[in-house]
């Protein structure tokens, strides 16, 4: 399952850090951040619920870029 989320991030480098942090989160199969549109598309592992995984994605993204936001 894929879902797209609106994000708030200041620069393209920060967006790349968020993308990598999201990819390394358990339950995430793949993640792509588009800095130009300020959107993150997350593909979840089979059987994973987005509502359970996304808080962990946000926490991991905040570790690399503390002023970023993902609007769940």
pLDDT in single tens digits along all 72 residues of the chain: 999 999 999 999 999 999 999 999 999 999 999 999 999 999 999 999 999 999 999 999 999 999 999 999
Structural domain for 63, as ranges = 2-71
CATH assignment of the domain containing 61: 3.30.70.100
pTM of the model: 0.94
C-beta separation of 63 from 7 below 8 A: no
**Which residues, 6+ apart, have CB-to-CB distance to 45 below 8 Å?**
27, 28, 29
Number of domains making up the chain:
1
């Amino acid at each position: 399952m894929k879902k797209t989320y609106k994000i708030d991030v200041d620069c393209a480098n920060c967006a790349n850090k968020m993308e990598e942090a999201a990819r390394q989160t358990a339950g995430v199969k793949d993640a792509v951040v588009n800095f130009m549109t300020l959107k993150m598309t997350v593909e979840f592992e089979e059987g994973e619920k987005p509502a359970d995984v996304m808080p962990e994605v946000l926490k991991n993204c905040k570790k690399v870029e503390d002023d970023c936001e993902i609007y769940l």
